[in-house]
Structure 1
Amino acid sequence: MERELKLQIDSKDLGSVRQAPLLAPARKATARPKLLTSTYFDTPDLAIHGCKASLRVRAVGRERMQTLKLDGAINAGVFDRDEFEMPVDRDVPNLKLLHDAIPADTDCGKLVHDSSVAARLAPVFVTRIHRSTVDLKLPSGDEIEAALDEGTVQADTGSTPIASVELELKRGKPQSLYTVALELLDSAPLRIEHRSKADVGYELLVAQHEDAVKATPVRMKKRDSVEEAFCTIARNCLAQVNANERGVVSGHDPSCVHQMRVGLRRLRSALDLFAKVIPAYAGLDDELRWIAGELGAARDWEVLAGATLSQAGVDGKEEGIRAVREASGQVAVNNRQRAADAVNSVRYTRVLLRLTLWLETRGWREAVTDEQRAAIDGPVVKFGAKVLRIRHRKLVKRGERLADLDDHRRHRARIAAKKVRYATEFFASLYPKSAVRHYIDGLASLQDDLGWRNDAVVADKLLLDLSRTAPETIQGAAFARGYLASRVAADHHTLKALWKGFRRLSPPQ
């Protein structure tokens, strides 16, 4: 099992990392950089890549090492995956050496055990990396190898430079990787690396498309403590955030921006949910609000350019709407780049490393009172039931005469509904499925209506801004604003009925 934290760096800043105080004591004993030449192999149809694996033969002097890496989890930059490494006596892979290690009934195992695959293997790209390493032994006893890499990835289709810092856990707990990374971040502008060297190589061969990743169901047991439940929920939210980071940075799919933003909203809701018993460290909410805001600007313009304007492109006004759509689409693209820059920033790197370290070490334990400590050791079932009752009552209070509320108060009711939804989904595994589904179905219908109404309110503000900066959109923007306002007015009866239906529901018990 390989556990490795990968960090990007500009090659000009590698010297700053080498001078970092953390590396100084061990740097004197470090050998000169080695040239690592790794040739990656695959079939003509890239079958190895298709099963989310990579196969290479690395040359270091006269030595040859064959390595197969399988797909695994990537959380906050840490690659946690199975790795099979063994010496070979030539410059091409020997798949027979992997037969005992890889079960034949797995996707990758079928390839490894297929003699025709071995016959079709050929080099697909090569990495040439100058690597210097420093072995760190921390006061905790944990041992980490810090590798400073600079080189290139080359394929027939082109080449790309690489500079990175890789921290590999040799012994100890994974959280020590975050501790070291945060200390190195004080010496050089590091960013989280979302790709392995194999990923970079395959991107030279094929167009990589990162799909948006939705949240997975939260699974907990009735005997879990409040603290255990919090860790489960927070890790679930972070997993959704982490899974969409690479898609946001690539900028190809705006859905990744949306899903990462959802993950951040879920995380902030979870922190608020447990705030009285598990206090977050100072400044955390401000930082999460910052990155959510960077993503939000892109998402708002994407919605306007897509779904919202599609609803308004009628009554012979298509030409005017087209001008609005093109202008708003360009703003959306610009804001998507802004979101990518934020996720690929040193500031975000620090936020994520610090948050993950706090979660993995249960850093709140240092700040809680005896009363809070007793509460988080208590059963989650009792805590969850109380939370759902409180959240439900708050929504009922904020939603009184919902259809007649102004935009500000209706927005507050929408946020309350969202928090109820998240809380119910967090604790869903503690209750009968039928009760949860019945409640969420009613809540979802209400949320859908409040959601598009909110999109209309946001769209009105964006359309006003657009008409001021792009004169060609004035006519279309005015029409779209009027059409959306008429739809909101016509929805009064529907919203009233949905609220009446929800008021009959009770949270799961």
Structure 2
Amino acid sequence: MRDARAWVEHLEAHLPLALSGEDPEGVHQVRVAGRRLRAYLDLLGWRVLQDDLRLLVRRAGRVRDLEVALGGELPTGFRVHLEAELGEARRTLRQLLLSPWMGALLRALRHLPPLGKGARRGLARLESRLEARWGRLRAEPTLDNLHAYRRALRRVRYAKEFLGLSTKRERALQEVLGSLNDLGVMEGLLLAYLHAHPDPEAAPFLEETKRALREAFVAALEELGLPVPLGV
């Protein structure tokens, strides 16, 4: 795929579903399209539209994260809190998607040029960033550094797919790191909730989430051939 048309069309096709809120897949696919188009801009070497797509991805991501969190068994008070947060996140996303800003973004995306010879330089920049994240993770295997590596890895994968290159290695590594983000998001949501709402039912659930996150973190480091820090 040497141009962005398919992913711009993908984004446009899923906007009505994201607006309706009837199927979580709509918001998920809006976020996926936004991320892939950001990788396309990386290949072009463009800064323009990056901040716009970042905003779209973040707003859609907030909705998606809450929908995923609400998909499992939760303490009652925490569930009620997340449902209220999801309602507000959906309203905020809907306002964005119906705004003149969204129409202007789509018009700009429809006019993105095809990839040229400079795309390989764009990929090289992304791979260099990934190597830097890997070096940082290897020197200091922390959860934050692992998340930074995971995000850089995803960006490289999407860029390589635009260029028709194999992404077998990147996809395999993403499988290893897949469960970490959801657990990390859940921990963050719980911490924010308990900070404002002391809840004896949710406190043990937080400890369970922290334990599962530590286990997933250790498993990911071992799969990547990295040492597990003492005290984890």
Q: What TM-score do the two structures reach when normalised by structure 1? A: 0.40
8 Å CA contact 1:294–1:338 kept in 2: the answer is yes
Distance 1:496 1:290, change over 3 A: closer
Q: How does 1:74-153 map to 2 (within 5 A)?
A: none
Q: Write the letter of the residue equivalent to 1:304.
A: A
What CA distance in whole angstroms lies between the structure 1 residues aligned with 2:196 and 2:25? 27
What CA distance in whole angstroms lies between the structure 2 residues aligned with 1:354 and 1:396? 32
Name the counterpart of 1:115: none
8 Å CA contact 2:8–2:106 kept in 1: the answer is no
Greater relative contact order, per chain length (Cα 8 Å cut-off, separation 6+): 2
Deviation at 1:458, TM superposition (A): 2.2
RMSD of aligned Cα (Å): 2.9
The answer to whether 1:452 aligns with 2:179 is yes
Distance 1:352 1:388, change over 3 A: closer
1:303 pairs, out of 49, 68, 74, with 68
1:257 pairs, out of 1, 19, 27, with 27
Q: Write the letter of the residue equivalent to 2:163.
A: F
The answer to whether 1:461 aligns with 2:188 is yes
The answer to whether 1:405 aligns with 2:130 is no
Structure (1 or 2) with the greater helix fraction: 2
Name the counterpart of 1:337: 91
Name the counterpart of 1:487: 212
What CA distance in whole angstroms lies between the structure 2 residues aligned with 1:500 and 1:254? 35
What CA distance in whole angstroms lies between the structure 1 residues aligned with 2:223 and 2:146? 14
1:346 pairs, out of 90, 100, 121, with 100
8 Å CA contact 2:52–2:105 kept in 1: the answer is yes
Cα-to-partner distance string for 1:354-396 (whole Å, 9 max, x where unaligned) = 332x43xx5x9xxxxxxxxxx93x4x8xx54x65555445424
Q: How does 1:30-69 map to 2 (within 5 A)?
A: none
Distance 1:328 1:295, change over 3 A: same
Q: Write the letter of the residue equivalent to 2:63.
A: A
Deviation at 1:454, TM superposition (A): 2.2
Q: How does 1:197-236 map to 2 (within 5 A)?
A: 218=1, 229=2, 232=3, 234-236=4-6
Percent identity, please: 28
1:266 pairs, out of 18, 21, 36, with 36
Structure (1 or 2) with the greater strand fraction: 1
8 Å CA contact 2:183–2:209 kept in 1: the answer is yes
Deviation at 1:337, TM superposition (A): 2.6
Runs (5+) with no aligned partner, structure 2: 227-232
What CA distance in whole angstroms lies between the structure 1 residues aligned with 2:136 and 2:217? 11
Deviation at 1:269, TM superposition (A): 1.3
The answer to whether 1:424 aligns with 2:160 is yes
Report which of the two structures shows the higher radius of gyration computed on alpha carbons. Answer: 1
Deviation at 1:267, TM superposition (A): 0.4
What CA distance in whole angstroms lies between the structure 2 residues aligned with 1:323 and 1:248? 27
Deviation at 1:460, TM superposition (A): 1.8
Distance 1:298 1:492, change over 3 A: closer
What CA distance in whole angstroms lies between the structure 1 residues aligned with 2:160 and 2:90? 31
8 Å CA contact 1:446–1:495 kept in 2: the answer is no
Name the counterpart of 2:12: 242
Cα-to-partner distance string for 1:169-212 (whole Å, 9 max, x where unaligned) = xxxxxxxxxxxxxxxxxxxxxxxxxxxxxxxxxxxxxxxxxxxx
Q: Write the letter of the residue equivalent to 2:108.
A: R
8 Å CA contact 2:179–2:216 kept in 1: the answer is no
Distance 1:353 1:460, change over 3 A: same
Q: Write the letter of the residue equivalent to 1:448.
A: E
8 Å CA contact 1:266–1:422 kept in 2: the answer is yes
The answer to whether 1:290 aligns with 2:44 is no
Deviation at 1:402, TM superposition (A): 4.1
Distance 1:492 1:454, change over 3 A: closer
The number of equivalent residue pairs is 225
8 Å CA contact 2:42–2:122 kept in 1: the answer is no
8 Å CA contact 1:251–1:340 kept in 2: the answer is no
What CA distance in whole angstroms lies between the structure 1 residues aligned with 2:141 and 2:225? 15
